Amino acid sequence: MKAPVLSIVVPCYNEQEVFILCLNELSSRIEEMVNAGKIDSTSHIVFVDDGSKDSTWDLIESEASRHLIVRGVKLSRNKGHQTALMAGLSFCVESDITVSIDADLQDDTSVIEKMVDSYLSGKDIVYGVRNDRTSDSFFKKFTAETFYKVMTKLGVSQVENHADFRLLSKRALNALLQYKEQNLYIRGLIPLIGFPSDKVYYSRSERAAGESKYPIKKMLALALEGVTSFSVTPLRIVTALGFMISILSSLGVIYTLLQYFLGHTVSGWASVILAVLFIGGVQMLCLGVIGEYIGKIYMESKKRPNFFTETKTGLNENDGAQ
């Protein structure tokens, strides 16, 4: 049986400080698996430059000209991690297996071999799952755990403590690429595919070099994307909230009328204003939630291309999709 061809997809945004470290680390892992006969010698790494403003693309081009193992795709502009990852995956449809990993080397590259072993045993999807968060700050650990609990409560199916470090077989990748939505939350899409899956556990390290490209603002945006892309529960909460406020308001009206007929004067300008402000605030919140969903419908209806490729290196002219 011929060994499978492995593609490792690495989204990059201003990663000049860590690029060479990442390349050397992943190249070593591929070489080890090739020598062990687990993957084919044509296995390679696809670096996706997501509109970097530093010398990331220059480094990719330089290394691709010297090493067959390196291939590169440069997007026409910054589109965000999820779109860059999907773009890279679209250039790997001919590979037997594809592994996605971030360039910062926080994910343990040694478990890639375990992922390949799981694939060879018949699994189509292998999730890299963190088994501890000792490298995280208290705030990040707390918010991450809260996020997964909330997502579960909202009915979103995803693997807890799994980000975008995973292996996909060719048929799993082709299934993923059939999803054409603009608002991407890949870790929520993968479980929808089905197919036999497995998990490998690892400890996450500190970033090898450079600064994090995922600040709080981007993490919150990704969380909102996940909630609104995979669950209508917030809309149902809005409905339930409106119903509850209507009931309370009705009770308030009945109480006021009873007091009036009993001859009691109901005073309290401040309480009336507070009630009006409360109702107004709830209404604005509800409109915001509904508006978020309407905005997604609006963007999806346009069916715009998710990305454009400015240039590529080490890849055939017809490789990939837009």
pLDDT tens by residue, 8-49: 999 999 988 889 999 999 999 999 999 999 999 999 999 999
Instruction: Write the pLDDT tens digit of every residue in 240-286.
Output: 777 777 677 667 667 666 766 776 665 665 567 667 767 777 777 77
- Write out the residue range of the structural domain in which residue 115 sits: 6-213+304-313
Give residues with Cβ within 8 angstroms of 183, minimum separation 6.
Answer: 225, 228, 229, 296, 299, 300
**Per-residue model confidence (pLDDT) at position 253:** 65
Do 198 and 293 belong to one domain?
no
- Residue 146 in any domain: the answer is yes
258 and 155, same structural domain? no
Contact 156, 226 (CB under 8 A): yes
What does DSSP assign to residue 3? Answer: P
| In a domain? residue 174 | yes
Same domain for 36 and 159? yes
Q: Has residue 127 been placed in a domain?
A: yes
- Report the mean per-residue pLDDT for the chain: 80
Is 247 inside any structural domain?
yes
Q: Is residue 150 part of a domain?
A: yes
pLDDT at 322 (0 to 100)? 44
Q: Looking at residue 10, which CATH number applies to its domain?
A: 3.90.550.10
CB–CB of 210/104 below 8 Å? Answer: yes
* Tokens 């406020």 sit on residue: 245
Residue 129 lies in a domain: yes
Q: What is the tally of structural domains in the chain?
A: 2
How far, in Å, CA of 176 to CA of 92, rounded? Answer: 12
- Residue 125 pairs in a beta bridge with 168, 197
Judged against a pLDDT cut of 80, whether residue 86 lies above it is answered with yes
> Beta strands 97-100 and 125-130: pairing type?
unpaired
